[in-house]
């Protein structure tokens, strides 16, 4: 008779094996009843001997205790996105660039389905799942380990020989049968029905209660190895995918090795033809350079690697009746004509509103109320009206008899004057934050997850606070009290206290979040980050905006000579600079910012750039470095010594760090006479002088 510990061990191994056969290989070898029996036996042992319970036990997939919030996780390597190719020409451009950079005549790629779900990162230590996170903004995601543990096709324990540290990346998605089940259940319970599998998967993963996630039939497919330690990566990505299978991960059976752009085009056709029979949503295919050393050579541009691309299927279209056109006012005052449609099912969801973008588009398409229009919806993109459908002369005559759609003279929300600046396509309400719609939009943006992240202060609550006159600017949020909030509709003592607590918590922020939250037109998350990094403080940003503020004599300047201080920020061009200068010199905005800072919003002071033997030097890395040293690790080392790493070689490059199989960058360095170091030479340079 074995001990309970030994028996539990055996049962766990058997259940893992059957799970793997069922969810990964799709080849079960025992009946469901037999599986349930083994499962119940393990559960009984773990209940009687709680000390034997481990987080990676197969019984733990039912979901543990609910969380209050998700913790943030910084990805060791950024989770990048994919460059999109919309047609054959763009795909050929992509391939040409790959071949030219690598100086080869034909490239080998993998073709993979582009699964329509959510990217996740899974971290394994000594083969055990210890953390799982969402992609987030690519640099930081949310810790959703407990939810991911409930997904049966994610191994909790890897098989065979594994490296001490391994990150695996892949997609979590909801297959169609699971989605149908969710829709049926939600309908039966009278709950909100999810619009498409992707949204349903996203909602399921972001549940604070893992027991709910456990009931959702989510699936996982691995598509890459991320960070690793103690693992000698193979030469090819396709070999890495094979290795992932050996470790126990589900890898798509649709993955193929392809030769050249012609191979890619054939693959695209083939997968497109099978799309309806797959049983899950894909929105295109992904092509990735198979050769891993070549990827290093190609590098990345603005979060997109040059070695991969997504070739998307054409968006779906449908016809329906245009019932009316209304104007929506956004947070910057922009008036967007919105088509109210007879509901129609397209691109995986029922659509009853679609954007008409702006008045130029309305005129160009000449859609009129009562027309039959063509609507397009692709993935998560806002549905749009493409144009009118006039199949015959009668339809054309009816169309001609209807009045054209005109821009409203006054803001539909506040009655303010609507202006369309010469040369601009966008019409705006000129009332600024005195317009309720603009204030509401600005505040929704301000409290958003990527901005000040004030949970519980939702659209409806903000609307009440605006309508009662209690909140007239973002700064007023910081004066709200529990008593005041508790008195509002649908708010109890408890939720009011939670909101006030969330407001207080938001005061510990970061400069980049704060800049983004302010909602200056054209300043999105990335630009906010770049501004924060470049200027480091509000004072420095104000000084630059003041110095760059246009004077009369500027009118004579060429575009490229305007706003020199703001344009010194990476990726900031004349439009962004003009908006930033206007926004940060505007007295009303300055007053709100001052009030926010006075309310206690603060962020850590910027870290001074490291100083060291490489201070002021720019390096370029090329080829693969010895001992599996990644490019990110080498970059960190160089930056710690005050150096900068750049992507391309120019006459301003001080050194090129060259590894194995270095290609065109090394050639260029030699041509320009830039000194070349190998890894050992860099090490010697960094050694403290004896
Ligand atoms: S590779 C740099 N492979 O597409 C490499 N991504 O736009 C980025 N996706 O966030 C990821 N199927 O959610 C890769 N076979 C596949 C994919 C895939 C779907 C998604 C993923 C990612 C997005 C990139």
Q: What is the CA radius of gyration of the chain?
A: 28
Euclidean distance between CA atoms 652 and 206, whole angstroms:
46
Q: What is the pLDDT of residue 609?
A: 65
What residues line ligand 1, using a CB cutoff of 6 Å?
Answer: 80-82, 112, 114-115, 119, 135, 171, 223-224, 286, 305, 308, 310
What is the CB neighbour count within 10 angstroms for residue 333?
26
> 432-505 domain in CATH 3.40.50.300?
no
Q: Pick from 79, 80, 86, 115 the residue to mutate for probing ligand 1's pocket: most ligand atoms within 8 Å of its CB.
A: 115
Q: What is the pLDDT of residue 107?
A: 96
CA distances from 45 to 12, 79, 214 (A): 11, 40, 22
Where in the chain are all domains bearing CATH 1.10.287.610? 4-52
Q: What is the pLDDT of residue 381?
A: 66
pLDDT-based confidence at 690, cuts 50/70/90? Answer: very low
Q: Pick from 82, 112, 222 the residue to mutate for probing ligand 1's pocket: most ligand atoms within 8 Å of its CB.
A: 82
Residue 187 DSSP one-character state: H
Compute the distance from residue 502 Cα to the ligand 1 centre, in Å: 33
Instruction: Could you list the beta-strand ranges (E) of 237-395.
Output: 256-259, 282-289, 300-301, 304-305, 308-312, 316-329, 335-346, 349-355, 372-377, 384-388
Domain formed by 618-686, architecture: 3-Layer(aba) Sandwich (3.40)
Where in the chain are all domains bearing CATH 3.40.50.10190? 618-686
Q: In what order do the strands lie in the sheet with 644-646?
A: 644-646, 618-622, 655-658, 676-677
Contact 63, 213 (CB under 8 A): yes
Contact 233, 240 (CB under 8 A): yes
Q: What percent of the chain has pLDDT over 70?
A: 96
Tally of CA atoms within 13 A in the half-sphere of 685 that contains its CB: 18
Query: What residues are labeled active site?
Result: 114
Nearest CA to ligand 1 atom 9: 114
Compute the distance from residue 680 Cα to the ligand 1 centre, in Å: 35
Q: Can you name the residues that pair with 89 across neighbouring β-strands?
A: none
Q: What percent of the chain has pLDDT over 90?
A: 56
Structure tokens at 355: 């954007």
Asked whether the whole model's pTM tops 0.85, one would answer no
Residue 157 DSSP one-character state: B
Q: Can you name the residues that pair with 312 across neighbouring β-strands?
A: 284
Euclidean distance between CA atoms 534 and 442, whole angstroms:
25
Q: What is the pLDDT of residue 1?
A: 62
Tally of CA atoms within 13 A in the half-sphere of 624 that contains its CB: 12
Kindly report the average pLDDT of the chain as a whole number: 89
Structure tokens at 59: 């019984």
Identify the burial level of 252 via C-beta atoms within 10 angstroms of its C-beta, where 0-12 means exposed, 13-18 middle and 19 or more buried.
Answer: middle
Q: What is the pLDDT of residue 608?
A: 66
Q: Can you name the residues that pair with 124 across neighbouring β-strands?
A: 129, 166
Residue 352 DSSP one-character state: E
Q: Is the per-residue pLDDT at 380 higher than 60?
A: no
Helix or strand holding residue 583 (H, E): helix 574-585
Q: Pick from 81, 120, 141, 311 the residue to mutate for probing ligand 1's pocket: most ligand atoms within 8 Å of its CB.
A: 81
Q: What is the pLDDT of residue 321?
A: 96
Where in the chain are all domains bearing CATH 1.10.150.20? 432-505, 511-598
Phi and psi angles of residue 163, each rounded to the nearest 5 degrees, phi first: -70, 160
Compute the distance from residue 82 Cα to the ligand 1 centre, in Å: 7
Q: Can you name the residues that pair with 417 across neighbouring β-strands?
A: 410
Structure tokens at 527: 């630009």
Nearest CA to ligand 1 atom 24: 81
pLDDT tens digits for 23-67?
888 888 888 889 989 999 999 999 999 888 888 888 888 777 778
Supply the angle between the helices 574-585 and 587-598 in degrees, to the nearest 10.
Answer: 70
Q: Which residues contact 13 (CB under 8 A, 6 or more apart)?
A: none
For residue 255, give the ligand 1 atom closest to its CA: 15
Residue 474 DSSP one-character state: G
Taking the domain 317-401, which CATH number applies? 2.40.50.140
Please tell me the total number of residues recorded for the chain in this structure: 690
Least confident residue range of 163-177, 414-428, 429-443: 414-428
Compute the distance from residue 675 Cα to the ligand 1 centre, in Å: 37
Tell which wins on pLDDT, 311 or 423. 311
Q: Is the per-residue pLDDT at 206 higher than 50?
A: yes
SS3 assignment for 26-58: CCCCCCHHHHHHHHHHHHHHHHHCHHHCCCCCH
For residue 224, give the ligand 1 atom closest to its CA: 1
Euclidean distance between CA atoms 88 and 94, whole angstroms:
10
- The alpha helices in 190-339, defined as continuous H runs, are 197-205, 210-214, 237-247, 260-274, 292-298
Superfamily of domain 4-52: Helix hairpin bin (1.10.287.610)
Least confident residue range of 414-418, 445-449, 593-597, 680-684: 680-684
Percentage helix, strand, coil for the chain under 3-state DSSP, each rounded to 5:
40, 20, 35
- Strands 349-355 and 335-346, how do they pair? antiparallel
Nearest CA to ligand 1 atom 12: 114
Compute the distance from residue 530 Cα to the ligand 1 centre, in Å: 25
Contact 256, 110 (CB under 8 A): yes
Helix or strand holding residue 483 (H, E): helix 482-486
The DSSP-derived string for 56-114 is TSGGGGG--SPPSSPPEEE-SS-----EEE-SHHHHHHHHHHHHHHHT-SS-EEEEEEE
Q: What is the pLDDT of residue 265?
A: 96
Compute the distance from residue 170 Cα to the ligand 1 centre, in Å: 8
pLDDT tens digits for 572-585?
888 889 889 999 99
The DSSP-derived string for 368-405 is -TT-EEEEEE-TTSPPEEEEE---SHHHHHHHHHSPPP
Residue 568 DSSP one-character state: G
Q: What is the pLDDT of residue 264?
A: 97
CA proximity to 379, closest of 80, 78, 84, 79:
84
Taking the domain 83-312, which CATH number applies? 3.30.470.30
pLDDT tens digits for 564-617?
899 888 778 888 898 899 999 989 899 999 999 999 999 988 766 667 888 888
Q: What is the pLDDT of residue 606?
A: 73
For residue 84, give the ligand 1 atom closest to its CA: 7
Q: What is the pLDDT of residue 555?
A: 64
pLDDT-based confidence at 562, cuts 50/70/90? Answer: confident
Q: What is the pLDDT of residue 518?
A: 95
Where in the chain are all domains bearing CATH 2.40.50.140? 317-401
Tell which wins on pLDDT, 55 or 508. 508
Taking the domain 511-598, which CATH number applies? 1.10.150.20
Contact 2, 10 (CB under 8 A): yes
pLDDT-based confidence at 348, cuts 50/70/90? Answer: low
For residue 114, give the ligand 1 atom closest to its CA: 12
Nearest CA to ligand 1 atom 3: 223
DSSP 3-state of 285: strand
Q: Which residues contact 137 (CB under 8 A, 6 or more apart)?
A: 450, 525
Q: Is the per-residue pLDDT at 225 higher than 70?
A: yes
């Amino acid at each position: 008779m074995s001990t309970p510990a030994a028996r539990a061990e055996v049962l766990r191994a058997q259940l893992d094996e059957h799970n793997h056969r069922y969810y990964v290989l799709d080849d079960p070898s025992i009946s469901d009843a037999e599986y349930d029996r083994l499962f119940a036996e393990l559960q009984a042992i773990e209940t009687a001997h709680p000390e034997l319970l481990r987080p990676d036990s197969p019984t733990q997939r039912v979901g543990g205790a609910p969380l209050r919030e998700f913790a943030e996780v910084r990805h060791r390597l950024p989770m990048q996105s994919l460059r999109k190719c919309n047609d054959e020409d763009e795909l050929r451009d992509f391939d040409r660039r790959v071949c030219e950079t690598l100086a080869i005549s034909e490239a080998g790629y993998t073709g993979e389905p582009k699964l329509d779900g959510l990217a996740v990162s899974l971290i394994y230590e000594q083969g055990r799942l210890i953390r799982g996170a969402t992609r987030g903004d690519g640099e930081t995601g949310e810790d959703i380990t407990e939810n991911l543990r409930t997904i049966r096709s994610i191994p909790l324990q890897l098989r065979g020989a594994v490296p001490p540290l391994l990150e695996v990346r892949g997609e979590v998605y909801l297959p169609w049968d699971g989605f149908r089940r969710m829709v049926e259940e939600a309908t039966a319970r009278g709950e909100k029905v999810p619009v498409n599998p992707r949204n349903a998967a996203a909602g399921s993963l972001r549940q604070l209660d893992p027991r709910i996630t456990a009931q959702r039939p989510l699936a996982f497919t691995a598509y890459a190895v991320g960070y690793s330690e103690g693992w000698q990566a193979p030469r090819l990505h396709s070999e890495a995918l094979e290795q992932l299978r050996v470790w126990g991960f589900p890898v798509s059976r649709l993955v193929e090795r392809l030769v050249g752009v012609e191979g890619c085009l054939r693959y695209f056709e083939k997968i497109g033809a099978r799309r309806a029979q797959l049983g899950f949503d894909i929105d295109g295919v992904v092509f990735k350079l198979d050769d891993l050393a070549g990827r290093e050579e190609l590098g990345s541009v603005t979060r997109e690697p040059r070695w991969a691309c997504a070739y998307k299927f054409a968006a779906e279209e449908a016809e329906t009746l245009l019932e009316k056109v209304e104007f929506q006012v956004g947070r910057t005052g922009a008036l967007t004509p919105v088509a109210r449609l007879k509901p129609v099912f397209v691109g995986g969801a029922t659509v009853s509103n679609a954007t008409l973008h702006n008045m130029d588009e309305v005129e160009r398409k000449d859609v009129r109320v009562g027309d039959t229009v063509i609507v397009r919806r692709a993935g998560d993109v806002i549905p749009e009206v493409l144009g009118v459908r006039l199949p015959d002369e009668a339809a054309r005559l009816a169309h001609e008899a209807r009045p054209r759609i005109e821009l409203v003279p006054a803001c539909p929300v506040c009655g303010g004057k609507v202006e369309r600046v010469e040369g601009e396509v966008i019409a705006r309400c000129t009332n600024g934050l005195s317009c309720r719609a603009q204030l509401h939009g600005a505040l929704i943006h301000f409290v958003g997850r990527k901005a000040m992240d004030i949970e519980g202060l939702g659209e409806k609550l903000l609307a009440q606070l605006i309508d009662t006159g209690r909140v007239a600017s973002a700064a007023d949020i910081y004066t709200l009290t529990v008593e005041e909030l508790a008195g509002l509709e649908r708010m109890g003592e408890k939720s009011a206290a939670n909101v006030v607590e969330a407001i207080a918590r938001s005061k510990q922020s970061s400069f980049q979040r704060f800049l983004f939250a302010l909602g200056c037109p054209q300043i999105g998350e990335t630009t906010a980050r770049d501004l924060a990094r470049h200027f480091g403080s509000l004072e420095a940003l104000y000084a630059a905006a003041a110095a760059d503020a246009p004077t009369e004599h500027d009118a004579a300047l060429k575009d490229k000579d305007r706003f020199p201080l703001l344009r010194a920020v990476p990726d900031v061009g004349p439009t962004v600079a003009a908006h930033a200068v206007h926004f940060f010199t505007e007295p009303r905005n300055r007053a709100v910012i001052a009030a926010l800072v006075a309310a206690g919003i603060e962020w850590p002071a910027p870290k001074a750039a490291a100083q060291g033997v490489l201070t002021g030097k720019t390096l370029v890395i090329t080829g693969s470095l010895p001992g599996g040293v990644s490019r990110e690790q080498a970059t960190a080392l160089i930056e710690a010594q005050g150096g900068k790493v750049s992507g391309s070689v120019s006459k301003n490059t001080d050194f090129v760090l060259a590894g194995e199989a270095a290609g065109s960058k090394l050639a260029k360095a030699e041509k320009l006479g830039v000194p070349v170091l190998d890894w050992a030479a860099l090490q010697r340079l960094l050694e403290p002088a004896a």
